[in-house]
Amino acid sequence: MAWKDPDIETFRALWKKRAATRGQVTIPEQRATFDADMGAIPLAPGCVVESLDLSGVPAEKITPTGAAPGKALLYLHGGGHVFGSLKSHRHLVSRFAVAAGVTAFHIDYRLAPEHPYPAALEDALKVYKQILATGIAPEDVIVGGESAGGNLATALLLKVREDGLPQPAGLYLLSPWLDMTTAGESYVKVGARDPIITREGIEMVSAAYLGGKPDNAFTSPVRADPTGLPPMLIQVGSEEVLLSDSLTFADHAAMAGVEVKLHVWPEMPHAWPLFHVFISAGLAAIEEAGQWMRQRLDTKLRAAA
């Protein structure tokens, strides 16, 4: 494929150089580097950050100027269930909060391999219950996440359904990792074009997350029945080995009668809005997601700046 966007070419070169040293550092070192790099990206203007403890889970509340009262986004960060944190994703969550015009919550769920499945799911469920306990109605909440966070967001709503709890207004998935196996067609057709993820990398983080437990519908939601899940927006890049995860899950959701909006962005690599300082199309994707969230939550559009 001919790469037309100079942002993408620059990003690919940068990430290729970074990937070359990935196997030479420990998981704690990878976590520290990722937090330092992503944490240096500034918040969206006009956001106030408050540290929270939500049922024992470290969290942050990010409130942009003019946020609609009582409307919320619960965002679950990516990182293969192995890295990622409040610090690494604070800037991205603030962008989503501004685009949606809502208060956003994001959490430091427990990570593998120290805390394999179901630790992260347990944390996410406790936080969802706590948010509802504060008086925010489920129809005023969007649950979202990217990559492994998309995996966790989907698993959370499957668990919410299993426990008989009310579903939120919508599910937002960005480049979601929804299958612990590497059997998707995109691993073969897109693998050579993906600058971020490899089959070997997915196998490694999958083993860490499962921790010796068998794969199931909560760890690989592509094998779940999505009946009863709320309307969803899925954004995914054409250059991702995880593309098949989104295509398969969107197909299953549509067949189950769930409202699905799937947008495959040409040229885009994995989780590109996280790297919006390098890839300007990331801001366009954030705005698209924010507009969808506003529609789901029935919030007014922002006044022109």
Instruction: Return the SS3 of 45.
Output: coil
Instruction: Compute the distance between CA of residue 6 and CA of residue 13 in angstroms, rounded to an integer.
Output: 11
Helix (H), strand (E) counts: the chain: 9, 8
Which has the closest alpha carbon to 60: 152, 127, 160, 156? 127
pLDDT for 178: 98
| pLDDT at residue 275, rounded to an integer | 95
Is the pLDDT at 183 greater than 50, yes or no?
Answer: yes
User: What's the average model confidence in pLDDT over 152-162?
Assistant: 98
Report yes or no: 158 and 118 within 8 Å, Cβ to Cβ.
no
**Residue 147 falls in the annotated catalytic set:** yes
| Structure confidence by residue, pLDDT tens digits, 5-56 | 667 777 877 776 666 665 678 999 999 999 999 999 999 999 999 999 999 9
The catalytic position among 85, 94, 147, 175 is: 147
Q: In this structure, what token pair is assigned to residue 221?
A: 């939601």
d(CA 293, CA 141): 9
Residue 295 identity (one-letter amino acid):
Q
The residue to which tokens 């506003």 are assigned: 294
Structure tokens at 266: 């040409």
- Please give the CATH superfamily to which domain 6-297 belongs: Alpha/Beta hydrolase fold, catalytic domain (3.40.50.1820)
Q: Where are the alpha helices (DSSP H) in the chain?
A: 6-19, 27-39, 86-100, 119-133, 148-162, 186-189, 199-210, 243-255, 281-297
- Among this protein's residues, is 50 annotated catalytic? no
Question: What local confidence, expressed as pLDDT, does residue 303 receive?
Answer: 38
Averaged over 162-182, what is the pLDDT?
98
Q: What is the mean pLDDT of the chain?
A: 93
- How large is the average pLDDT for residues 253-278? 96
Mean pLDDT of 249-254: 98
* 270 part of the active site: yes
- Does the structure show a pLDDT above 90 at 137? yes
Q: Which residues contact 264 (CB under 8 A, 6 or more apart)?
A: 236, 237, 238, 243, 246, 247
* pLDDT over 90, % of the chain: 88
CA atoms within 13 A on the CB side of 204: 12
Beta carbons of 293 and 170 less than 8 angstroms apart: yes
Nearest in space to 236 (alpha carbons), one of 190, 198, 293: 190
Beta bridge partners of 232: 171, 260
Torsion region of 70: left, alpha or beta (phi above 0 gives left; psi -120 to 50 gives alpha): left
Among the listed residues 91, 240, 252, 267, the single catalytic one is 240
What was the pLDDT predicted at 13? 75
- Choosing from 77, 81, 91, 270, which is the catalytic residue? 270
Helix, strand, or coil (residue 285): helix
Say which residues have a Cβ less than 8 Å from residue 216's Cβ, sequence separation at least 6: 223
